[in-house]
Amino acid sequence: MRFAVLGSGSKGNGTLVASSDTCVLVDCGFSLRETERRLARLGITPSQLSAVVVTHEHADHVHGVELLSRRYNLPVYLSRGTLRGMRKPVEAAGFIAGGESLQIGSLSIGAVAVAHDAQEPTQYVFSDGRRRFGLLTDLGSYDGNLLDCYDGVDALMIEANHCRDLLARGPYPSFLKHRVGGSMGHLNNHQAAGLVAELGWQHLQHLVLAHLSSKNNLPQLARQRFVDTLGCDPSWLQLADQDSGLDWREIA
């Protein structure tokens, strides 16, 4: 199994997960042309995609889903709440809610309900029968059930959205600061590192920090928080950014 990132941040998100002849795109927050360009950079054409799986209806995750799926006849899977919240509805091939699973080709996909200010947001754990990859962005808090769902994953991509201090003194208006930093918003560096510490990280082949805010975080601050919390080698940590995403990573 392997994964790659088209881009991660408030201007657009997309993650590829592949195993054998199956390749799934999670979210598509880019225009069709930009999505095609970013896929090509990773050696993928849209016709090679098996499906699109959506986490929630915010524009940075769904902007390009409808046109991509229609242009290339791609099945789309999402929660019913996410479909209700989309400005540009799609023809859903099937629905998936937290606690349910979906089989697409050689990939088993487990949906995990998360605390985020969307209609029915989900995140996902992928398995090819041997290894598991956890995708975990866009949540403001977590509980024991979520930890159980991600326990034992072989690779994890987790949001480190903001630095608490930068958000507090940053340019956002007060209501937006409360929204981002609240329990239904986004994980800050401390929360994300604490979550990984609770899961345990020594068995992880890859730990990718994602969805960093361009206004309320810095890569060096996110990295340092994880190093301080986990005691890991800073060079081992990986980062998926907005412009270049992340190249393919193998989960052996």
Q: How far apart are CA 93 and CA 70, in angstroms?
A: 12
Residue 235 burial (CB count, 10 A)? 8
Which residue type sits at 212?
L
What is the pTM for the complete model shown?
A: 0.97
Each as own residue / partner, the long-range contacts of residues 165-169 (CB below 8 Å, 24 or more positions apart, any chain) are 166/215, 166/216, 166/217, 166/218, 166/221, 167/213, 167/216
Query: CB–CB of 42/14 below 8 Å?
Result: no
Nearby residues of 200 by Cβ (< 8 Å), 6 or more positions away: none
Query: How far is the first Cα of the chain from the last one, in angstroms, to the nearest whole number?
Result: 7
Angle between helices 65-72 and 32-41 in degrees, nearest 10: 70
In the chain, what are the domains? 2-246 (3.60.15.10)
Q: How far apart are CA 32 and CA 223, in angstroms?
A: 32
> Tens digit of pLDDT per residue, the chain (252 long)?
999 999 999 999 999 999 999 999 999 999 999 999 999 999 999 999 999 999 999 999 999 999 999 999 999 999 999 999 999 999 999 999 999 999 999 999 999 999 999 999 999 999 999 999 999 999 999 999 999 999 999 999 999 999 999 999 999 999 999 999 999 999 999 999 999 999 999 999 999 999 999 999 999 999 999 999 999 999 999 999 999 999 999 999
Provide the token pair at 76. 């789309």
Q: Give 39-90 as a DSSP string.
A: HHHTT--GGG--EEE-----HHHHTTHHHHHHHHT--EEE-HHHHHH-SS--
CA max distance for the chain: 48
Tokens 């398995």 belong to 127
